[in-house]
Chains A and B, each alone.
Chain A
Amino acid sequence: MAAYTLRRLLAAIPVLFGLTLLVFLMMALIPGDPATAILGSYATPDNVARLNAALGLDKPLPQQYLIWLGNLFQGDLGRSYALNRPVLDEVLERFSATLILAGTSLVICSVLGLLAGIVSAVRQFGWTDRIVTFIVLVGISTPSFFLGLLLILLFAVKLRLFPASGMYAVYGGGDLADLLHHLVLPALTLSVVAAGVVARLTRTSMLEVLRQDYIRTARAKGLTELRVIYRHAFKSALVAVIPVIGIQAGFVLGGAVYIETVFQWPGIGAMLVNAISTRDILLVQGGVLVVAASYVLFNLAADLFQSILDPRLRR
């Protein structure tokens, strides 16, 4: 198990390097540069050249990348041009906000998705199944940013139950209760689509398992229905669902870009969007690296969890 984990982690390193190289090239290829973005209307060739020199962007591209790589090995992700602060500080601060949002959404989507999937599999073609399936399909098909706006209008503007945006109260506040109060709407919005996907997959997987001979045997032994479904069917079905939840982790991280913008959540998604439009290469590099690394880790965690549930997968 330890050897397997180590092998997977080592395999991730070239992936991450390739990714940073790709991001670096893409940022270099798209037109516009940080100096033009900073200067805006004042971007004369003279001013741009002067600012580029001040930012160290007048060096050849390969050299810029190697400098970045060299600094990376020393734990230095460079300094953001646009924010004028260390990339690492900014990325860590923002990423923790994203983790809180994405982590909560992942828990909500797993619990809701699994429950909905089990219920509709057990009551296949019944009214409960139809209603759940309908809700799930609507959930999957609603663009999350739009759902977010609707939730804001209902719960923040009309009912005034939850704040419309932000992570903490604007003045004072800052405790856990304050955070949870702000977390409800964005986390719910972000989890809806993923919950729908998990629900559909759980349903299919459960239906397959429920038709197996050993389920019939279990029922024949006289076990209670709850025990049959939970002990015998759900645990086997879960093996197929876990990797999907791992993939949803990536989806939730990606979806956070929109949700963070709609709810003004101070996360890494919103940061990346800004960084790209200001051509803040180092900030984009740092952000992408952290997001990609966490995606790799999420998937690894899902695989490890799966192999705990299913001993056949341990090689």
Chain B
Amino acid sequence: MNRIIPAMLAACAMIFAPAALAQTPPNVLIVGQIAEPKSLDPHAVTATNDFRILVNVYDGLVRFADGTLEIEPALAESWDISEDGKTYTFKLREGVTFHDGTPFNAEAVKFNFDRMLDETHPFHNTGPFPLAFFFSTVDEVNALDELTVEFKLNEPFAPFLSNLAYPTGLIVSPAAVEKSGTDFGRNPVGTGAYKFVEWQGNTRVVVEANPDYWDGAPSLEAVVFRPITDANTRVAEMLAGGLDVMVEVPPDSLAQFRTDANFAVQEQAGPHVWYLILNTKEGPFKDKAVRQAANYAIDKQALVENVLQGTAEISAGPVPPAFAWAYNEDVQPYPHDPEKAKALLEEAGYDGEELTFYVTEGGSGMLDPVAMGAAIQADLAKVGMNAKIETYEWNTFLGEVNPGLEGKADMAEMAWMTNDPDTLPFLTLRTDALPENGGFNSGYYSNPEVDTILEQARVSTEPEERATLYQQLQEIVHEDAPWVFVANWKQNAVTSAAVTDFKLQPSFFLMLHKVSKN
């Protein structure tokens, strides 16, 4: 059904080719989102869908430079890191005010982090703050003077700056939190390029240009974010001229937009990895040769081209290429080589034992998990591996997979989107990240060398040294094959011809500051 309806839509759309584009209001950008935001409090949310709005209303101390995942100054003009890597001192930008007119200063920064991290803070009850653990290494935040703020960490933590660039590090107006309390998420106030105007439940979030923006006023008058959960309706609304920008276009509809001069398709690979967790503790995947065989057996080219219709690229390892500064170009994806897979299986003495394969019906970043599961099952069968699929709804799936696969399954689908090359391997590949230790290493991979590299990379404050360590990590993990490395998702969006200077970012954030509309 998921396949038939878009096909029919496309067919109908060709018959009823659009006459002339309907008008969205001049100089107001209408963005088709995939869902209603949960909240516009950046510290309270976890979804990319919400981040797309937040990054336009708020700024962080630092941000990802345009088109990269490298850190550049934002609300902080510069910073110093102490020798031991445990003290970060930020010099703040002068003359910045929040949309409510209150000044942005060191006290405001301190308020933001104390609210998230200090349970005795008077406004800690405006949470919960599910991603506050991004800053769990922060011991204390001190306002040294009006424009100098110091973060004391309890251990060196290199991803700290990346985490500050993440929406969890965006700075909210303390005065607005004091005023709105638990309703702050519905009455957001930041320093960003756009000011919040209104939020109508499941209808729209409207933000207008901030003429005093420190980085230059936007040329758009306003942006309207519309939640349209049904992908087919989103496509129809785009075709009907009711949207200027649409994110997450279903693969089936991309071709249609590509061939139409009224639209422009944008694509950008992001920090996303789609992989299969293999149970390295028990069963056939305990043997490295069998794990490598699975990597050779699966035709990733066919997966990204046919199932995902070109909306992803083949993955080579646990660090996605979007982290260009830490990516190892020499680690090539396992080629599709069924003969090699068969030879490896024979060598390992694999006897065709049945493999339980956990597949999810959907979920964040999971792309088309059911179809992918079926294609993977078929590829494995061709080399004599007999995988039995068990399908679960996403939340149930997480409840089964996150506590570990032992005694339940041999392999499971999984996908992650992160903001630092450290995050995914640190949480999923270390010995200390086994489920019983509160980590996500559901396949029980353990390699002391990997553990050491990850610890070193985390305490190093030299980006070049960190890059070398992550490159080594990619080589080792690729060889050990604790996962089947499958795909890196390319985010896509369609814009109407009137929209100019629109660019997708590898961070998957939707930066609309410089966008204009003719």
- Contact residues of A with B, CB < 8 Å? 30-33, 35-47, 51, 54-55, 79, 82-85, 90, 93-94, 146, 149-150, 152-154, 156-158, 160, 163-168, 170-172, 261-264, 266-267, 270-271, 274, 277, 279
Task: Write out the residue numbers on chain B whose beta carbons fall within 8 Å of the beta carbon of A168.
Answer: 200, 203
Q: B29: nearest residue on chain A (CB-CB)?
A: A171
- Using Cβ atoms and an 8 Å threshold, which residues of chain B touch A163? 240, 242
* B440 surroundings in chain A (CB, below 8 A): 41, 44
* Distance A19 CA – B210 CA, assembled complex (angstroms): 49
For A270, give the chain B residue with the smallest CB separation: B202
A36-B130 CB under 8 A given contacts A42-B46, A166-B203, A170-B204 = no
Counting from the closest, the 6 A-B pairs by CB-CB distance are: A32-B395, A158-B16, A266-B202, A54-B128, A46-B438, A31-B396
Bound complex: CA of A83 vs CA of B45, how far in Å?
A: 10
Residue of A nearest to B223 (CB): A171
Contact of B201 among A51, A90, A166 (CB under 8 A): A90
- A and B contact pairs by CB, cutoff 8 A, 5 listed: A84-B44, A85-B186, A157-B236, A170-B24, A171-B25
Interfacial chain A residues near B427, Cβ < 8 Å: 44
> Does B83 sit at the interface, judged by CB under 8 A?
no
CA–CA, A94 and B17, complex, Å: 35
- The verdict on A55 contacting B224 (CB below 8 Å), with A152-B233, A164-B242 known, is no
User: Would B201 and A93 count as touching, CB distance under 8 A?
Assistant: yes
Counting residue pairs across A and B whose Cβ atoms lie within 8 Å, the total is 174
Q: How close is A192's CB to chain B, nearest CB, in angstroms?
A: 18
Given known pairs A55-B128, A82-B38, the reply for A30 and B396 (CB within 8 Å) is yes
* Inter-chain pairs besides A32-B399, A153-B236, A277-B394, 10 sampled, C-beta below 8 Å: A44-B440, A84-B44, A84-B182, A93-B201, A94-B201, A157-B16, A167-B203, A170-B224, A261-B230, A264-B228
Give the complex CA separation of A152 and B224 in angstroms: 22
B165-209 Cβ-contact flags toward A at 8 Å (1 or 0): 000000000000000001101100000000000001111101000
Cα distance, A270 to B228, chains bound together (Å):
11
* B284, chain A: closest CB distance, angstroms: 26
CB of B232 closer than 8 Å to a CB of A: yes
Q: Is the CB of A157 within 8 A of B13?
A: yes
Residue B41 is within 8 A (CB to CB) of chain A in the complex: yes
Residue of B whose beta carbon sits closest to that of A30: B396
Which residues of B lie under 8 Å from residue A82 when comparing CB positions? 38
Residue from A51, A55, A83, A271 within 8 A of B38 (CB atoms):
A83
Known: A30-B396, A46-B438, A47-B130. A266 touches B233 (CB 8 A): no
Q: Is the CB of B229 within 8 A of A270?
A: yes
Task: Mark each residue of chain B from 435 to 446: 1 if its CB lies under 8 Å from any CB of chain A, else 0.
Answer: 100111000000
Give chain B interface residues in 437-494, CB to chain A under 8 Å: 438-440
**Chain A interface, DSSP helix/strand/loop, else mixed:** helix
Selected contact of A171 from candidates B22, B206, B237, CB within 8 Å: B206
A265 to chain B, nearest CB (A): 8
B 404-419 contacts with A by CB, 8 A: 414-417
The reply to whether B398 and A32 contact each other, CB–CB distance below 8 Å, is yes
Selected contact of A165 from candidates B183, B237, B398, CB within 8 Å: B237
Check B127 for interface membership: any CB of A closer than 8 A. Answer: yes
A41-B364, A45-B438 in contact; A274/B41 too (CB < 8 A)?
no
B39–A84 contact, CB under 8 A? Answer: yes
Residues of chain B in range 41-62 having any CB-CB distance to chain A below 8 Å? 41, 44, 46-47
Which B residues are in CB contact (< 8 Å) with A83?
A: 38-39
Given A160-B22, A262-B230, A150 and B12 touching (CB < 8 A)?
yes
Inter-chain CA distance A83–B199, complex, in Å, is: 12
Asked if B403 CB lies within 8 Å of chain A CBs, one says yes
Chain B residues within an 8 Å CB radius of A43 = 398, 402
Least distance between B257 CB and chain A CB atoms (Å): 13
A279/B28 in contact, CB under 8 A = no
CB of A21 to closest CB in B, whole Å: 22
**Residue B254, interface by CB 8 Å:** no
Given A40-B398, A263-B233: A51 touches B130 (CB 8 Å cut-off): yes
Of chain A, the residue at the smallest CB distance from B414 is A41
B233 near A262 (CB under 8 angstroms)? yes
A44, A146, A160, A277: the one contacting B240 at CB < 8 Å is A160
Given the known A-B contacts A32-B396, A36-B399, A171-B224, are A42 and B16 also in contact in the complex, defined by CB atoms under 8 Å?
Answer: no
